[in-house]
Amino acid sequence: MSFASKINPLKGESYCGDKALYFQNDTATVLVIIDGLGHGRYAEEAASLGEEIIGENIDKMPDEILRICDRELINTRGAAIGISKIENGLLYYSGVGNTRMMIVDEKQNLLYGDYGVVGKGVQKINLLTRELNENDLIIMFTDGLRENIKVVNSFNGKENNIEKLIDNIFWEYRKRTDDVGILIYQLRGCAYE
C-alpha cells in the first residue's frame, strides 16, 4: 500500500480549508478529500468537523457517511467531500460538490461529485463500486488544482514515487487562488518502483 497527501493554504492564509485524509480499520482503507467552502478560518472549521465525523463512521459506506456529514455540518459553512473506501479488492466511492476523483488504470478516469454542498441538504448521492487492481492509482483533489491533470506527463521517468508525483502535480496544476488538497493511493506496496 502506498499513500501520500499534500495540503497547502492559499498564500497569506494561516488556516487551510482543504484536508486530504487516510483512515484504516481492520478490513478497509478510507481516503477522504475535503474542501471547506471558500477558504480561511470558517472553511477550516467545516473541514475539521467533517474529518471528525468521518473518522467516527469509517465502518459505513461512503454514501452513508456523506449523509451523516450532511446532517452534522448544518451549522458550518459546508464543504465538498469525496470519500473512497477500499475493501476486499473493491473500490467504493461517493462525492458531493467540486472535489475530483481520478482512477488511473490504462487510462485516466475523472469522476465529478454529485451536485450540492455537504451540510446544506444534499439530494442524491451515488455510490460507485468497481474492482481495484493493485497498480491502479487513486487520485483525489480539490478545486485548488486544475482538473486537466496528466499523470503520465507528471511522471518524468526519473521520479518513481507518489510523493514526487504529488509535488509535480502541485507545481504544475495549482491555481494560486484557493487552498489546495490532494492525495494519491495505490494498493500495491511500492508505487512505480
Site for Mn ion, rule CB under 5 A: 35, 143, 178
DSSP string, 69-133: HHHHTTTS--EEEEEEEEETTEEEEEEESS-EEEEESSSEEEEEPBSS-BTS-------EEEE--
The C-alpha cell at 106 is 490504462
Q: How far is the CB of 57 from Mn ion (least distance, A)?
A: 23
Report how far Cα 18 is from the mean position of its chain's Cα atoms: 9
Distance CA 5, CA 183 (A): 4
Nearer to Mn ion by C-beta: 51 or 143?
143
Query: Which of helix, strand or coil describes residue 30?
Result: strand
Q: How far is the CB of 78 from Mn ion (least distance, A)?
A: 12
Measured in degrees and rounded to the nearest 5, phi and psi for residue 6 equal: -150, 135
Q: How far is the CB of 146 from Mn ion (least distance, A)?
A: 12
Nearer to Mn ion by C-beta: 70 or 143?
143
Q: How far is the CB of 24 from Mn ion (least distance, A)?
A: 26
Nearer to Mn ion by C-beta: 2 or 98?
98
Say if residues 6 and 187 touch (Cβ distance below 8 Å). no
Nearer to Mn ion by C-beta: 10 or 125?
10
Nearer to Mn ion by C-beta: 36 or 136?
36
Q: How far is the CB of 100 from Mn ion (least distance, A)?
A: 11
